[in-house]
C-alpha cells in the first residue's frame, strides 16, 4: 500500500511537470498576452515596458526555468491581470465550483440511480422506455443552450429562481459557501441541474446496463432460487455489483465536472474556477492558467486514487498493486 501510494505521488509529480510545460508552450503558441492585455492607446515604448514588467522579454525556456524555480518555493506566480498570487485567486474561487460540482454529482446519483434501477429491472415497460428516451436529451443538447432555456423558463417566465449569480454566502474556516443559505441554494439549483444533466443520463444508462447484466448472473439466480425477497436480491446482490462502474464513472466525472463547469459557470455568471479559467484563457493570463491546471491535475490524481481504493474495498478481486 505504501509503495503504491509513493509511486502514485511520483507519477503525480511527473504529470504536473508535463502539464506546466504544455501550458507554457501552448500559451506561447496561442498568442501574445501583452497584445491582449495592453490598452489600445499604448504606444510602442509602453508596450516594451509591459513586456518587461510581465517577464515576457526572456526566451521561453528561461521564463519556464524562472517559473520552476519559484514554483519549487511554493510561488506559482502572480496573475498578469489581477496582480495577485495565482494560487490565492484560484483558492478563493474554489468553494463556488466545488459546491456546484458536488451538488451536480449528488443530483445525478439521487435522480439517476433509482431511474436506472427501474429501467434495468423492467426493461420492456413503457415507463422504462420513456426514461431511456428522455435520458438521451441529457447529453445531446449543448450545455449552453439548455442553460439559457432553464433561465428563460424558471427565471424569466415563471420567476421561481434567480437568473444568474451566486447567492448569499456563509463563512466557514475562512472560505465562503452558499449551500447553507436558502438564497444560496436557490441560486445554485439551475446551474447545478445544468451541470448534472449529462451525468444523470450517464448514471441512468450505466445502472440500467449493469442491472440487466447482473440479473442474469448465476449468483443472482441462485439467490432468487433460495427464495430471498426480490427487494433483498435487488438491493443487496445486484446493487452492490453495479456500483463499480457507477463509482468509476461518477468519480471520474467529478473531476470532469470541475474541468467542464466552464460553460455552465459562464452562462450562469457563477463566480467559480471555471469562470476564472475561461476569463484567463481569454486574456492569456498564463500564471493563472498554469496554476489552475496544476491544481486540477492534482485533484484528478487524488480522485482516481480514491476511486482505485474504493474499487479494492468494493470488489476484493481488484487489488492495489505495489508491483505487478
Partner 1 sequence: MTKGLQAAAAAASLAFLLAGAAAAQTLTMGVGAPVTSLDPHYHQLSPNTAVAQMIFGGLTGTDGSARVVANLAESWRAVDETTWEFKLRQGVRFHNGSEFTAEDVAFTFQRVPNVPNSPSSYAIYTRPIRQVEIVDSHTLRLRTAVPYPLMPTDLANIMILDRETHGSATTEGFNAGPMAVGTGPFRMASHRNGDRIEFERNDAYWGTRPHWQRVTYRMITNDAARTAALLAGDVEIIDQVPTSDLGKLRVDQRLALSEVTGLRLIFLGFDHSRTEASPFVTDNDGKPIPQNPLKDVRVRRALSMAIDRAAIVERVMEGAAIPSGQFLPDGAFGHVPGLVPPRPDTEAAKRLLAEAGFPQGFRLTLHGPNDRYPNDSRIIQAIGQMWTRAGVRTSVEALPWTTFIGRASRQELSSFLVGWGTSSGEASNPLRNLVATADRDKGYGASNRGRYSNPEVDRLLEAGMRELDDAKREALLQQATRVAFEDVGIVPLHIQKNTWAMRRGLAHNARADELTRAQDVRPAATAGTAAR
Partner 2 sequence: MSTTTAAPVVAPRVETPFRRFVSEFAESRLALFGLLVFGAIALIAILAPFIAPQNPYDLAQLDIMDGRMEPGTVGGAGFTYWLGTDDQGRDMLSGIMYGLRISLLVGAGSAIIACIVGASLGMIAAYAGGRTDGAIMRLVDLQLSFPAILAALMILAFLGKGILNVVIALVVVEWAYYARTVRGSALVERRREYIEAAQCLALPTRRIIFRHLLPNCLPPLIVVATMQIARAIALEATLSFLGLGVPITEPSLGLLIANGYEYMLSGKYWISFYPGIALLVTIVSINLVGDQLRDVLNPRLKK
- Site size toward partner 1 (CB under 8 A) is 56
Residue 110 in grid coordinates = 439521487
Of 37 and 263, CB closest to partner 2: 263
Point out which residues pair with 177 in neighbouring strands.
170
Instruction: Calculate the dihedral angle through the C-alpha atoms of 52, 58, 59, 64, rounding to the nearest 10 degrees.
Output: -100
Q: Which residue has the cell 444568474?
A: 164
Instruction: Tell whether residue 86 is a contact of partner 2 (CB under 8 A).
Output: no
Strand residue runs (E) in 79-238 = 170-172, 175-177
- Taking the complex as a whole, the smallest distance from the CB of residue 61 to partner 1 amounts, in Å, to 20
* Selected binder of partner 2 within 117, 211, 244, 290 (CB under 8 A): 244
| Subset of 205-234 contacting partner 1 (CB under 8 A) | none
Among candidate residues 100, 84, 70, the one with its CA nearest the CA of residue 294: 70
Of 186 and 299, CB closest to partner 2: 299
Residue 315 in grid coordinates = 470488489
Sign of CA pseudo-dihedral 277, 279, 281, 285: negative
Q: First CA to last CA across the chain, in angstroms?
A: 13
Contacts of 76 (CB under 8 A, 6+ apart): 70, 85, 86, 87, 287, 290, 291, 294
| Subset of 260-279 contacting partner 2 (CB under 8 A) | 260, 262-263, 277-278
| Subset of 268-287 contacting partner 1 (CB under 8 A) | 268-269, 271, 275-276, 279, 281-284
Of 17 and 53, CB closest to partner 2: 17
* Selected binder of partner 1 within 63, 92, 181, 310 (CB under 8 A): 92
- Taking the complex as a whole, the smallest distance from the CB of residue 260 to partner 2 amounts, in Å, to 7
Give the whole-angstrom CA distance, residue 297 versus residue 13: 10
Residue 65, contacted partner among partner 1, partner 2, none, CB below 5-8 A by kind: none
* Selected binder of partner 1 within 23, 71, 76, 81 (CB under 8 A): 81
Query: Residues interacting with partner 1, by CB under 8 A?
Result: 30-47, 49-50, 53-54, 78, 80-84, 89, 92-93, 148, 151-152, 155-159, 162-166, 266-269, 271, 275-276, 279, 281-284
Amino acid at each position: 500500500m505504501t509503495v503504491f501510494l509513493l509511486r502514485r505521488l511520483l507519477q503525480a509529480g511527473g504529470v504536473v511537470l508535463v502539464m506546466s510545460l504544455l501550458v507554457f508552450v501552448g500559451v506561447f503558441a496561442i498568442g501574445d498576452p501583452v497584445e491582449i492585455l495592453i490598452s489600445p492607446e499604448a504606444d510602442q515604448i509602453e508596450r516594451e515596458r509591459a513586456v518587461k514588467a510581465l517577464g515576457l522579454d526572456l526566451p521561453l525556456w528561461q521564463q519556464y526555468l524562472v517559473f520552476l524555480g519559484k514554483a519549487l518555493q511554493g510561488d506559482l506566480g502572480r496573475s498578469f491581470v489581477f496582480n495577485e498570487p495565482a494560487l490565492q485567486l484560484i483558492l478563493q474561487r474554489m468553494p463556488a465550483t466545488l459546491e456546484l460540482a458536488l451538488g451536480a454529482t449528488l443530483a445525478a446519483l439521487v435522480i439517476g440511480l433509482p431511474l436506472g434501477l427501474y429501467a434495468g429491472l423492467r426493461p420492456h415497460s413503457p415507463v422504462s422506455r420513456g426514461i431511456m428516451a428522455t435520458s438521451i436529451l441529457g447529453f445531446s443538447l449543448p450545455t449552453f443552450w439548455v442553460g439559457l432555456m432553464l433561465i428563460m423558463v424558471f427565471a424569466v417566465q415563471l420567476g421561481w429562481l434567480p437568473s444568474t449569480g451566486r447567492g448569499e454566502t456563509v463563512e466557514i474556516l475562512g472560505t465562503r459557501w452558499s449551500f447553507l443559505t436558502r438564497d444560496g441554494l436557490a441560486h445554485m439549483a439551475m446551474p447545478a441541474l445544468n451541470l448534472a444533466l449529462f451525468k444523470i443520463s450517464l448514471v441512468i444508462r450505466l445502472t440500467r446496463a449493469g442491472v440487466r447484466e447482473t440479473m442474469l448472473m448465476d449468483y443472482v439466480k441462485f439467490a432468487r432460487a433460495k427464495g430471498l425477497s426480490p427487494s433483498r436480491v435487488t438491493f443487496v446482490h445486484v446493487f452492490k455489483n453495479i456500483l463499480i462502474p457507477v463509482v468509476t464513472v461518477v468519480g471520474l466525472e467529478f473531476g470532469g465536472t470541475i474541468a467542464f463547469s466552464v460553460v455552465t459557470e459562464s452562462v450562469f455568471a457563477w463566480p467559480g474556477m471555471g469562470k476564472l479559467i475561461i476569463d484567463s484563457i481569454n486574456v492569456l493570463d498564463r500564471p493563472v492558467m498554469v496554476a489552475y491546471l496544476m491544481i486540477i491535475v492534482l485533484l484528478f490524481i487524488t480522485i482516481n486514487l480514491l476511486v482505485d481504493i474504493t474499487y479494492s474495498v468494493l470488489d476484493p478481486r481488484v487489488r492495489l498493486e505495489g508491483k505487478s
